Structure 1
Amino acid sequence: MTTADHTHVDHLIVGAGFGGLCAAIKLEEDGERDFVVIEKGSGVGGTWRDNTYPGAACDVPSQLYSYSFALNPDWSMSFSPQPEIEAYIRGVAEGSGTLDRFVFDTAMTSATWDETQQRWLVETEGKAGKKTYAATTVIAGPGALSEPRLPEIEGIEDFQGEIFHSAKWNHDADLTGKRVAVIGTGASSIQIVPELQERVAHLDVYQRTAPWVIPRNEHRYTKAEKLAFRHIPGVQKLARTAIYWGREAYVPAFAWKPKLAAPAKAMAKLNIRRGIKDPELRRKVTPDYEIGCKRILISNRYYPALDADNVDLITDGIAKVTGSSIVAKDGTEREIDVLVVATGFYTTDLPIAHSVVGSKGRTMSERFAETGMSAYKGTTIPEFPNLFFVVGPNTGLGHSSMVFIIESQVAYIRDAIRTMRTNAYATVEPTEDATSAWNDDLQRKMGPSVWSQGGCASWYLDEHGRNTTLWPSFTFLFRHLTSTFDVDKYVVTAANGQQADKTQESVSA
C-alpha cells in the first residue's frame, strides 16, 4: 500500500546478498509476500557481486558455502571462484519468484522507529529518487564484509597514480609492466598478489602482520562426480555433510585448546618451506602468534609469488605516501605507479548502526558506544523493536560456512514473525537482561579461545579488546539455539501499544 508520504510493507529487507536473498525466499515460502528488498548495488550477490579482484575465490568449500535448499551440482571445483559464486546466487534468485520485489541501486539512508505507528520509517535514495517505506519489520542483511576500510596514512589522498581498494577493483586500469604496491596481507591480498606478480614489472607488498597460510587442497570436479551429484539421490548431501563435520572438528582447537591446532601449524610452516627459498623471507612471513588467532588463509601460490624476483615484502611499516611513492618508516622511498589497498572492512563498527534510530531516540551506534556492539542471539537488540539482523554481532565464523549461520538466523526470524502473527503482537523487543546474559556468556566462552589467548591483534576484536565478531562454539549449537523464537526473552506489545500477554508460545514450523 502506498500513501502520499509512505509505501507501506509488512517487511523491508536491507541487502541482497546471501542473507537478504535467503530471508526473501523463506518469507515467500511462509506466505509473507508483502515485502521489499532494497539493495544499494545493481544486482544480487553482495560481497560476491562487489569483490571482482583478480583471483577472488571462496576459502570455504562450495558444497557447504551454498544454500541447503539449493544445492548446485555444477561447481567446477571444491573452492569456487567469485564468478561462479555470483552466478549461483543470481540463479537462485531468478528461480525463487521473488525478484519482482527487489529494488536495486537503492540505499537505505536512515531508519527511524515510529512509536505511534509501531513501524519503521525507512528512508531510501536511488536512481528513482528518494522514497520512504513504513515497515512492520526490518530485516537487516547488509553483510559483515561490505564496507571497505581505507587506511589512515599520511598523504594517501595526494597519490597521483591509480589507487583503489580490493573491493572496488578498477578493471580499466592496465597494470601490465607497472610498478605496483599492495597494502595488506589478508584474505584478499593473498589471492591478488600471485595474480599481479605475473603481470607487473615490480610488486611491493606491505605487511603489518604475517598471516598463517595453509595449503589450498583444491579439487576439480570430474564430469562423473557432477553427474552423480545431479542424478544419484543423497550423494551431494552426503558430500556436504562430510565437509560440514570436517569443519566442525576445528572448533576445539579454536575455542578451548589452541595447542590442538599443532597439526595445522605444522602444515602452515611446511607451506612456507615449500614456497620460499630465501631464509630471511621465510622469517618475515612466519607469524609470532598462535594459528587461528587471526583468520587462517589458504593458498598454494602466495609464498612462491613473494619469493619471485620482481616482488619485495616490506615489513618496516609505512610512514607516508607521496604523489608517486610510498615512504617506509625506515626512510626508504619506493616509487610506484599503482596503489592497491587490501586493508579489509568495517567489522566491529557496523556502518548501518549509525543511521538506525530506535525507540529511545538514539542511534544504534550510540547504544553500542555505551554497551559495546552486541545483540541477542546475534539477531535482535533492545531499543530496536521488530528489527532483525542477519549476520549480526558474534555470528561470524573462522572455520565454516556463513551460509549455515544465515539459514539458522532466518529460521529464527521466520518463527518470530509467525509468533507475532499468531498472537497478534505488534512489536517484539529483546529484554536487556536476556541480551546481557547472552553476551556475558559469549565473552566468558571467549576466555580460553585462541582469539583471546593467541597473542595477536585481529579485526575480530573491538577497541576494548572484546571479540564482538565471532561465534565461539559449534555451529550446530547456534542452530539449536535459534531453532525456536523464545518469546519469553522479549517484551511484546499489542496493537494498542500495551504490553501483551506472553502466555501463548511461539509457533515453530
Structure 2
Amino acid sequence: MNAPADLPPELSTAVPFLQGPGPAEHCDIAIIGTGFAGLAMAIRLKQSGRHDFAIFEKAAAVGGTWRDNHYPGCACDVQSHLYSFSFAPNPDWSRMFSPQPEIRAYLERCTDQFRLRPHLRLNHELRRAAWDEAGGTWQLEMADGKRVRARVLVSGMGGLSRPAYPDIPGLDRFRGEAFHSQHWNHGYALAGKRVAVIGTGASAIQFVPQIAPQVAHLDLFQRTPPWIMPKPDRRVSAAERWLFRRLPFAQKLLRTGIYWTLESRVLGFVVHPGLMKVVERIARRHIRQQIADPALRATVTPDYTIGCKRVLISNDYFPALARANVDVVTAGIDRIEADAIVMRDGSRREADCIIFGTGFHATDPIPRGAILGQRGTDLLDAWRDGAEAYLGTTVAGFPNLFLVVGPNTGLGHSSMVFMIESQVNYILGALKAMGEHGVQAIGVRPPAQRDYNAGLQRRLARAVWSEGGCVSWYLDPKSGKNTTLWPGFTWQFRRATARFRLADYETRPLMRTAPAAQAGETSSAGQAVKA
C-alpha cells in the first residue's frame, strides 16, 4: 500500500465525507455489532489497554443473534460451558444447552462486567462505510445521518444476521399473519389457528414442538429433511453450580472435556467422511425410536450423507411431527393465495398464519452498499466469485477492515465463540504490529489471500459438505464454493491466527497529522478535536 504522495491520480483525492447533520464523531476503532463477536473485540481491546473505540449497534440493546432470535424454544446447540467466553466463565448455566434468554442475559452481564456501556452507540444502524484513501480512515454513515470517522473498522455483524425469505409467487397477497422466525410475533395468538411452517432448519426444529400443541392444525412444508441426532441435554444441578462457583477449575475441566469431544467430529466431517456412516446409524435409530408410522419415517429420513447439511439435535421434533394435528408436506409449493398455500400437485392447504423457518443469508450477510473499499469497490463486488478473506479476517482492497466471523470461519461441529476469540487475538496482533512499525494502514496482499483460499478449497473439496450428495447453505449459490465453513480442527485455526505476520500485508506509513483533526469533528469521548 503506497504512501499518499505516491497514490495514482484516481486515488489521490480523499473521498468526500459522507453528509449528515452535526459534527462527526471520531474514534480510533469502530466496531459494528454487539453479539459475541463485537463484544469479544471490545472486551479484549480494553484488556489490552486500548480505550479509544466505539461499538455501533442498530438495535436498542446488545446481544446480536441472541437478542433478535426469541422464538419459542430458541436455544443453543452447543453446550454453553463451551459456547461462552473463555475469559468470562458462567458457573450458573441452568442447562447444558442454554435457552436464548440465558445467553442474552450473559451477554448483557459481560457488557456491564467489562464496563462497555460508555463505548456503546445503540440505535446506530450502519448505512455505509467507505474507505478514504487519502485520509487513511474509514468514514461511516448511520441510518439517521450521523457520521463517524475511524482508523480501523471491525465488523462483528455475523453470518446469521439477515433473514432469508423464499421467493414464492403470491406471498404479497396473503391476508393472514406472516413472519420469519427471527421476527417472531409474540402478540399473535396461535391457539386454534391453521399454521403453515415453511422450512425445516435449525430454528424450525426448535419452535415446531413448542407451537404444535397449541394450534388447530400445522402444515410443515419440507423441501429436504435434516439429519437429527439425540440432544444430550439436561438440567445442571444446584450442586454442580455450587462446585463451579467454588472451584472454577472444575468448570474449566468440563469445558475442556466438551471441547475435545466436539473436536473428534472433525474426523468424520473432513479427515474421513466415510466415518459419518457410523453417525448416520445413530440418527436412523433416533428416527425409528420416535416415529412409529413407516410412511412418516420415510418422509423425514434424508437421502444424503449425514453432515452434508447442518446436523441438528432434538428430542422433541419427531414426536411433534407424529401428532394428529401435524402434516409434513413435501409436494412442493407452487404459489400462495389470500388464505392458502397451493401445491404443485394442485392441492390447497388453508392457512391463517405462515411462519418462515428459512434461515439466513449466510453466504452474503453484508448488504450491498454497506462497505466500500479502495476505488469505491463494493465488498460484494470483490466477492463476485464467492466470499473469501485471509484467515477469514482481512480482505484485499479493504485496508484496516477486519471481519470477525468472516468467510470460512463457520463450524459444523463446535463453538463459534472459540473461533471468534481466535480472530480477535489475531486482530489485536495486527494493531500491535501497526503501532510498533509506525503503520497507518494495512491491506492483505492479494497473492497471500489467493493462496490461502486455494488451499482451503482443496481441503473442502474432500470434505463431507462437498461429497455428501446435498446442496446446503454452506455453499455459495453462484460459484458453488463452500465459503462458510472452516475445513479442520478449531485448534488448527487457533494456531494459524496465533501470530500476525506483517509480511503478508501491504503497509502505509503513519501520517504525521491525524486525519480526524478536521473542524467540527469530535472524539469518541465527546471532546472537540482541534482543526
TM-score bracket, normalised by the shorter chain, equals over 0.9
**2:456 aligned with 1:442:** yes
Q: 1:181 aligns with which of 196, 203, 206?
A: 196
Contact kept in structure 1, 2:161 and 2:365, CA below 8 Å? no
**2:432 aligned with 1:418:** yes
| 1:399-431 Cα distance to aligned partner (Å, 9 max, x none) | 000000000000000110111111110001100
> For the residues of structure 2 that align with 1:66 and 1:327, how far apart are their CA atoms?
44
Q: Which consecutive unaligned segments of at least 5 residues does structure 2 have?
A: 1-20, 513-531
> For the residues of structure 2 that align with 1:496 and 1:55, how far apart are their CA atoms?
52
Q: TM-score, normalised by structure 2?
A: 0.91
> For the residues of structure 1 that align with 2:231 and 2:293, how far apart are their CA atoms?
22
Moved over 4 A (4+): none
Contact kept in structure 2, 1:203 and 1:310, CA below 8 Å? yes
Contact kept in structure 2, 1:59 and 1:298, CA below 8 Å? yes
**2:311 aligned with 1:293:** no
Q: TM-score, normalised by structure 1?
A: 0.95
| 1:105-140 Cα distance to aligned partner (Å, 9 max, x none) | 110000111011100001012xxx321111000000
Q: 1:53 aligns with which of 63, 71, 83?
A: 71
Distance verdict in 2 for CA 1:360–1:235, change over 3 Å: same
> For the residues of structure 2 that align with 1:268 and 1:331, how far apart are their CA atoms?
34
Q: 1:99 aligns with which of 110, 114, 117?
A: 117
| 1:309-344 Cα distance to aligned partner (Å, 9 max, x none) | 000000111000111100111111011111001100
Q: Return the offset for 1:352.
A: 4.0
| 1:204-235 Cα distance to aligned partner (Å, 9 max, x none) | 00000000000111121111100111101410
Counterpart residue number, 1:500? none
Q: Return the offset for 1:360.
A: 2.3
Counterpart residue number, 1:366? 381
Q: Return the offset for 1:196.
A: 1.0
Counterpart residue number, 1:17? 35
**2:333 aligned with 1:315:** no
Where in structure 2 are the equivalents of 1:53-452 lying within 5 Å? Answer: 53-125=71-143, 129-352=144-367, 354-369=369-384, 371-452=385-466
Code of the residue aligned with 1:265 in structure 2: it is E
Code of the residue aligned with 2:157 in structure 1: it is P
Q: Which consecutive unaligned segments of at least 5 residues does structure 1 have?
A: 498-509
Q: Return the offset for 1:391.
A: 0.1
| Aligned residue pairs, count | 492
> For the residues of structure 2 that align with 1:42 and 1:233, how far apart are their CA atoms?
33
> For the residues of structure 1 that align with 2:60 and 2:79, how far apart are their CA atoms?
27
> For the residues of structure 2 that align with 1:408 and 1:431, how far apart are their CA atoms?
21
Distance verdict in 2 for CA 1:353–1:427, change over 3 Å: farther
Contact kept in structure 2, 1:142 and 1:352, CA below 8 Å? no
Counterpart residue number, 1:490? 505
Q: Return the offset for 1:353.
A: 5.3
> For the residues of structure 1 that align with 2:130 and 2:305, how far apart are their CA atoms?
43
Contact kept in structure 1, 2:277 and 2:305, CA below 8 Å? no
> For the residues of structure 1 that align with 2:282 and 2:232, how far apart are their CA atoms?
12
> For the residues of structure 2 that align with 1:251 and 1:486, how far apart are their CA atoms?
27
> For the residues of structure 2 that align with 1:339 and 1:73, how far apart are their CA atoms?
39
> For the residues of structure 2 that align with 1:311 and 1:233, how far apart are their CA atoms?
46
Q: Return the offset for 1:254.
A: 0.2
Contact kept in structure 1, 2:407 and 2:484, CA below 8 Å? yes
> For the residues of structure 2 that align with 1:350 and 1:197, how far apart are their CA atoms?
31
> For the residues of structure 2 that align with 1:17 and 1:232, how far apart are their CA atoms?
28
> For the residues of structure 2 that align with 1:395 and 1:338, how far apart are their CA atoms?
36
Q: Return the offset for 1:5.
A: 4.2
> For the residues of structure 2 that align with 1:99 and 1:23, how far apart are their CA atoms?
14
Q: Return the offset for 1:363.
A: 0.5
> For the residues of structure 2 that align with 1:352 and 1:150, how far apart are their CA atoms?
15
> For the residues of structure 1 that align with 2:484 and 2:475, how far apart are their CA atoms?
7
Code of the residue aligned with 1:23 in structure 2: it is M
> For the residues of structure 2 that align with 1:385 and 1:12, how far apart are their CA atoms?
14
> For the residues of structure 1 that align with 2:338 and 2:175, how far apart are their CA atoms?
5
> For the residues of structure 2 that align with 1:31 and 1:6, how far apart are their CA atoms?
25
> For the residues of structure 2 that align with 1:223 and 1:427, how far apart are their CA atoms?
51
Q: Return the offset for 1:146.
A: 0.6
> For the residues of structure 2 that align with 1:281 and 1:152, how far apart are their CA atoms?
27
Contact kept in structure 2, 1:10 and 1:136, CA below 8 Å? yes
Q: Return the offset for 1:4.
A: 6.2
- SS of equivalent residue, structure 2 residue 376: coil
Contact kept in structure 1, 2:158 and 2:365, CA below 8 Å? no
| 1:362-420 Cα distance to aligned partner (Å, 9 max, x none) | 11111111x42100000000110000000000000000000000000000001101111
**Greater relative contact order (Cα < 8 A, sep 6+):** 2
Q: Return the offset for 1:58.
A: 0.5
Distance verdict in 2 for CA 1:353–1:25, change over 3 Å: farther
> For the residues of structure 2 that align with 1:462 and 1:354, how far apart are their CA atoms?
20
> For the residues of structure 2 that align with 1:138 and 1:496, how far apart are their CA atoms?
18
> For the residues of structure 2 that align with 1:424 and 1:353, how far apart are their CA atoms?
33
> For the residues of structure 1 that align with 2:369 and 2:35, how far apart are their CA atoms?
21
Contact kept in structure 2, 1:256 and 1:450, CA below 8 Å? no
> For the residues of structure 1 that align with 2:330 and 2:274, how far apart are their CA atoms?
28
- SS of equivalent residue, structure 1 residue 208: coil
**2:491 aligned with 1:476:** yes
Q: Return the offset for 1:201.
A: 0.6
Distance verdict in 2 for CA 1:150–1:465, change over 3 Å: same
Contact kept in structure 2, 1:211 and 1:294, CA below 8 Å? yes
> For the residues of structure 1 that align with 2:313 and 2:495, how far apart are their CA atoms?
30
Code of the residue aligned with 1:81 in structure 2: it is P
Distance verdict in 2 for CA 1:103–1:496, change over 3 Å: closer
> For the residues of structure 2 that align with 1:495 and 1:75, how far apart are their CA atoms?
46
Contact kept in structure 2, 1:37 and 1:101, CA below 8 Å? yes
> For the residues of structure 1 that align with 2:134 and 2:22, how far apart are their CA atoms?
18
> For the residues of structure 1 that align with 2:499 and 2:72, how far apart are their CA atoms?
42
**Structure 1 residues 226-235 or 7-16, which shifts more?**
226-235
Contact kept in structure 1, 2:159 and 2:363, CA below 8 Å? no
Q: Return the offset for 1:256.
A: 2.4
